[in-house]
């Protein structure tokens, strides 16, 4: 996996795909996992080009999302 910033070297279509994945990840964290990473700096995100997957690091700073909030 490469640092997430490495996607700047990819074609626009792949950059858009990664952006969609990041947005999807946020909504999954918020509404499905009900656990959100509260230290979203670039060092905690990598990208695996071969599998087209985002890799997350450092779950030491997370916050639980209440069911009430996730249903809002």
Task: Identify the H or E element spanning 23.
Answer: helix 12-27
Rounded to 5 degrees, what are φ and ψ at 33? -80, -25
Question: How far is 64 from 34, CA to CA, in rounded Å?
Answer: 6
Q: Give yes or no: 58 in active site.
A: no
Which of the residues 12, 24, 39, 58 is marked catalytic? 39
Candidates 31, 35, 29; CA nearest to 63 is: 35
Catalytic residues: 39
């Amino acid at each position: 996996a490469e640092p997430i910033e490495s996607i700047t070297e990819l074609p626009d279509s792949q950059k858009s795909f990664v952006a969609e994945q990041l947005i999807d990840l946020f909504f999954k964290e918020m509404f499905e996992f009900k656990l959100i990473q509260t230290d979203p700096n670039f060092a905690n995100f990598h990208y695996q080009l071969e599998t087209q997957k985002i890799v997350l690091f450092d779950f030491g700073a997370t916050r639980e999302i209440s069911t009430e909030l996730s249903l809002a």
